[in-house]
Structure 1
Amino acid sequence: MSAKKLELESMSLDDLWSLHEEISGILSNRIKAEKHELEKRLAVLGGGMAVLAESSRPGLSPTAKARRKYPRVLPKYRNPQTSETWSGRGKRPRWLVAAVKSGRRIEEFRIGDASPKLRQRA
């Protein structure tokens, strides 16, 4: 064993703990300084301001993008028994699948053919 390791093993628990706190503080300060230096270099290279602005916002990772807003999709089909609706996007609802299996046509459930401008106001 090396002399340094023997010194550490012979130290009391309180001395070891204070050494640990001192080392942790030094490491923390060096990591902060290194991070600051890297951020300055990134800003010089360009695009750094966007990364810095995003990193300061809580809850978002630097690579996360804002979600695109999609237009509201109006329903195209209605269940006459329960008034449930379906926009025609995604998986077909169970009530429509069951009705089609029983021999009915999907067009029977189509909501009236009002002009698109009138349906957007609804």
Structure 2
Amino acid sequence: MAKIDLNEFSRTELISLRKDVEKALTQVDKREREAARKAAEDAAKQYGFSLSELTGGKTKKTGSKGAPQFRHPENSDVTWTGRGRRPEWVKEWVEAGKDLEELRIK
């Protein structure tokens, strides 16, 4: 992969690039999860089982993910429920001295 000199980009271009990278990462995550699920199903089938038989009928996480509580300041498609580990964009926001409550969905 070619090295990109980010110093040549304007702030607007960098923000746009960050949005594109976040979207691409989400798509890669979905593809890799699907590939992993398919590989697990194929492995179970090889032994004469279905994946749901081996997982007790639960092939997805149980329980509610929860409603999003915080929204990315520049990309409204990116949210966080406030549960679990803080996403990088939330960490960066707080480390910049900004108030987390500014990101709260009202």
**Which is bigger in relative contact order (C-alpha 8 A, separation at least 6)?**
2
Q: TM-score, normalised by structure 1?
A: 0.38
Q: TM-score, normalised by structure 2?
A: 0.43
Q: Based on CA coordinates, which of the two structures has the bigger radius of gyration? A: 1
